[in-house]
Amino acid sequence: MRVSAKVCAAVMVLATASPSWAQDYSQFSDAAIDRELSQKADVTMFEMVPMRDGVRLATNIYRPKGAKGPLPTILIKTPYNELSYKVRSSLNALEAIKHGYVLVLQNERGRFYSEGDWEILGKPQTDGYDTLSWIAKQPWSNGKVGTRGCSSSAEWQLALAAQNHPAHAAMVPQSSGAGIGKVGEFEEQGNWYTGGVPRNLFFVWLYGVDNPLNPQPPKDLDQPTIARLARYNDLAPNKPAVDWPKQIRHLPVADMLKDLGEPPGTFEELINRKGPADPAWRKGGLYHDDKGWGVPALWFNSWYDVSIGPNLALFNHARTVNSDKEASANQYVVVTPSNHCGFTSKVLSGPYTSGDRPMGSIDFDAEKEVYAFFDRWLKGDTAAFPASTPPVRYYSMGANAWRQSAQWPPQQAKTVRFYLRSAGRANSLNGDGKLSTAAPAAGEKPDRYVYDPANPVQTIGGGDCCNGGLVIAGAFDQRPIEARDDVLVYTSEPLTEAMEVTGFVRPVLHVSSDAKDTDFAVKLVDVAPDGAAYIIGDTIMRARYRDGYDKPKMLAPGAVSVVKPTPITTSNTFLPGHRIRIEITSSNFPKFVRNLNTGGDNEKEATFVVARNAIHHAVGQASYVEFPVVPAAK
């Protein structure tokens, strides 16, 4: 095998000298980075930390080389295979050590060399608490611990924050929506649902992550032996590849993984629950808004993530709950236009494009902010992250500019109502649908369309993640689906001045159907002067839950009902010459599970009926969308 002169030179530099902290280690091999770690850090691999029930969790400890005296600690917990001598964990360790921190990296119970049985979020109320207690007792610890991480490494932090452990000094949850059960008007139960409709992303994710037949080493092995084993055998499963575009259509949904030969596991446990109000959602590691909050936090979220709405609702909750006044007074959030966990310097430096839409230069150093926040709370450096830091910093798309606010949504946002209007033929981009601030006149005809579960409307972009490539998140052009007759399209006149929409966008629909149950999906779109229709956000609602998730009720054929999907959460500045568009249909697949329209146990059925649905907008049955509009600065 030929090795380039550039790579040889890079490895030689690492072997003979200690590079500066500005070095980009990602270009080097595992061995080279291990060598650098040996120069910079004292490392303990696979320390088996005991929990209160005797289960031991595999834990790596990275301390600055030869450090004297106790230091603050950063704790990352993960369900992923990151402990076994991986580049990613080594890079995290080098960065923490550079800033004067100990890094503790731990696998959730039941994952790889951690003992016990795995469950999503890894028992944060007990395992997280016990790990904090263990760290605080170590001679290298100053008793202050900051937790950080993205996605699964963020979500477990939420329920732990409610425990208010004395050592838990600060937290940085990034893209943490799947750790939220119910908060305010959002009852997504860890992103399993939106508006009572299951999301397909978890089915794909669980196939890759859950391993009901995972092997575990004997329980009496000591730390050096486990570390030696892990170097040569990381216990990672090698599952067969799946044609997900085909498999995701499998009916019944509840047998989707069984059909792949998977043994029963977490998927079966969750898919069999009776909707968002099932009491079983209260028994796991999800955070619900009847809990307190005890930790200062720096939140990172993004407009095209899977659950931006619940994330910002929880941020608001953490600021208002009275269990710990210092914690509630020190909640900060940053919202970028990126996708799930898109907070690296590579993503947030220079020009950024989301889907088909250029977003300008974001230029935000997230990693610098993280360590400044930790320096404030773990080292007592009040100048590092001053109290004058705005609580809310968000990127307003369209304007392609950073904004700041004392609260979310901004206090100055005013509600502006746009009505869905037509002469009864809003079907497709070629229809007569209009979006207008003028209320409907008497006798306006409803818009009707046919929803066939065998031919669902395709998902193109929007907010999503973790689905094996089924959906690519971002601001993609929606015109391919706007050509369909089963998509109702309502478009405003071109704007004469810029309109910043920042906050919770709330659809209210008067609907009817000849089916017992069906879904209603809504998209918010920014239409450029050249006709490009960029998705801003979307939502969906299962009609049976229109009166509450704990009060499912079938539709009466032809009767008009009110459906209020959960809000679309965003900041987008619609520029002069642009138009605002709302799309309505009854499917958004493969992002969301298809409603089979029978009114039965949808995820356990394999047959379906075609639904003939309608959106009403006459006087007394107006359908509309409420926009939070931030007035232009004067």
Residues marked as catalytic: 151, 305, 340
Q: Which residue has the tokens 């009864």?
A: 424
Q: Which amino acid is at 356?
A: D
β-strand partners of 505? 568
C-beta separation of 326 from 360 below 8 A: no
Parallel, antiparallel, or unpaired: how do β-strands 71-78 and 102-107 relate? parallel
| DSSP H/E element including 59 | strand 56-64
- Exposed, middle or buried: residue 531 (CB in 10 Å: 0-12, 13-18, 19+)? exposed
Task: List Cβ<8 Å contacts ≥24 apart for 65-68.
Answer: 65/39, 65/40, 65/41, 65/97, 66/42, 67/42, 67/140
- Exposed, middle or buried: residue 613 (CB in 10 Å: 0-12, 13-18, 19+)? buried
CA end-to-end distance (rounded Å), the chain? 65
Q: What distance in Å separates the CA atoms of residue 279 and residue 531, rounded to the nearest whole number? A: 47
Report the candidate in 27, 20, 21, 94 with the shortest Cα–Cα distance to residue 11.
27
In whole angstroms, how far apart are CA 579 and each of 26, 29, 54, 195, 528?
43, 50, 61, 27, 7
Q: Cα–chain-centroid distance for residue 584?
A: 24
- Give the three-state DSSP class for 404: strand
What DSSP string runs through 408-431?
Answer: SS-TT-EEEEEEEE-SS--BSTTS
Quick one: residue 474, left, alpha or beta (phi over 0 = left, psi -120 to 50 = alpha)?
Answer: left
Structure tokens of 97?
């050590």
In sequence order, the 6+-apart residues with CB closer than 8 A to the CB of 66 are 42
